[in-house]
Amino acid sequence: MTIQDIQSGTDRGVPATIARAGLTIASWPYGLAIRHRNRSYDRGSRDVAQAGVPVICIGNLTTGGTGKTPIVCHLAKWLREKNIRVSIVSRGYRSNESGTNDEAMELADRLPDVPHVQNVDRVEAARIAVEELETEVILMDDGFQHRRLHRDLDIVVIDAMCPFGYGSLLPRGLLREPISGLARASAVIITRTDHADEASLQRIESTIATYANASVPVLRTQHAASHLLTYPDQITALETIANKRVVALSAIGNPKAFEDTLRACGATVTDQLRFPDHHDYARETVQKIQDFARSQGSTFDQFLCTHKDLVKLKCDRIGGKPLSSLQIDMQFVSDPTKLYELVSQCVQLSR
């Protein structure tokens, strides 16, 4: 029995039912606190800091991996192509001694010309980006609930595989705030739509329409594998993993989506090694992976991980087995014109 089995209701046994009741009670004070906080900002009774440049927030309603990073990368590249100086600002959850975390390392790898300022105080991070880095536009990663910094656009990301956090606030479900928070959204992006059927997607869009402003664009996207990356910078075509026996290695919020993508690329996933999101791959963990590889012998051909894992592992083999990451990019299924128009209008504020 896992916490996900309890939260999702998959486990209907007596212990799980009792645990759900306890989590429901625990969610009540959290719900009261978050609603009070949101009302305070809605009424203007809490101070909101201005960055002095346009701020575009890419956030979500739930915990876990909704697929924000490919969207942040896409928008950052789009802005850089227009010669706009853009910086990313984030909290830096579970940063290491150097002050960076796995998401910062991945973004630095994918966006070498885009500064990333991590600070628990995102107002201070924005100040650094503007005053010291001469930033013209800030992308605030995972900041939808961080309302102390004014934003000009709020882009909310919803994962089609688990769109509304099992319908309950933390810790009973995965919602950071009530779904009614969508009323603050400037745009909504539904990710991994290729992992859901049309009926499910229409239900998600119907729920969004219930809470979001009628003028808010709702876009469908999917995460598409582009190539393999072997540390440090060797690029390999996806076709090389077709019919290969692989072990999926990940420490991300949604490992199932990653494993499904590997299968869609033609790989045979013989096993999965899943670690908690943002796991740091300490020496003990690497030793366990090495021991696993040696114990399995010739039953699989290689390890495949995500880019977020590769930037922490920093190697091309573990336990004698090759290691590569599957590179994922965002693709629009819907026409993105309205989103680009919103971003363009926002950027005009800095020109």
DSSP, collapsed to helix, strand or coil, labels residue 330 as strand
**Structure-token match 């009926």, residue found:** 199
Tokens of 215: 């003028």
- Distance CA(302)–CA(311), nearest Å, equals 18
- Distance CA(165)–CA(168), nearest Å, equals 6
Q: Which contiguous run of DSSP H or E holds residue 213?
A: none
Q: Which domains does the chain have, with CATH numbers?
A: 55-222+331-350 (3.40.50.300), 224-329 (3.40.50)
Which residues fall in the annotated binding site for ATP? 62-69
pLDDT at 98: 61
Number of other residues whose CB lies within 10 A of the CB of residue 153: 21
- Distance CA(156)–CA(85), nearest Å, equals 23
Q: Say what the pTM is.
A: 0.91
| Residue 153 one-letter amino acid | L
| DSSP per-residue string spanning 238-254 | GGGGTT-EEEEEE-SS-
pLDDT at 94: 64
pLDDT at 351: 55
Which residues fall in the annotated binding site? 62-69
pLDDT at 348: 84
Per-residue pLDDT of the chain (351 residues; tens, 9 = 90+): 788 889 999 999 999 999 999 999 999 999 999 999 999 999 999 999 999 999 999 999 999 888 899 999 999 999 999 999 999 999 977 666 666 788 889 999 999 999 999 999 999 999 999 999 999 999 999 999 999 999 999 999 999 999 999 999 999 999 999 999 999 999 999 999 999 999 999 999 999 999 999 999 999 999 999 999 999 999 999 999 999 999 999 999 889 999 999 999 999 999 999 999 989 999 999 999 999 999 999 999 999 999 999 999 999 999 999 999 999 999 999 999 999 999 999 998 555
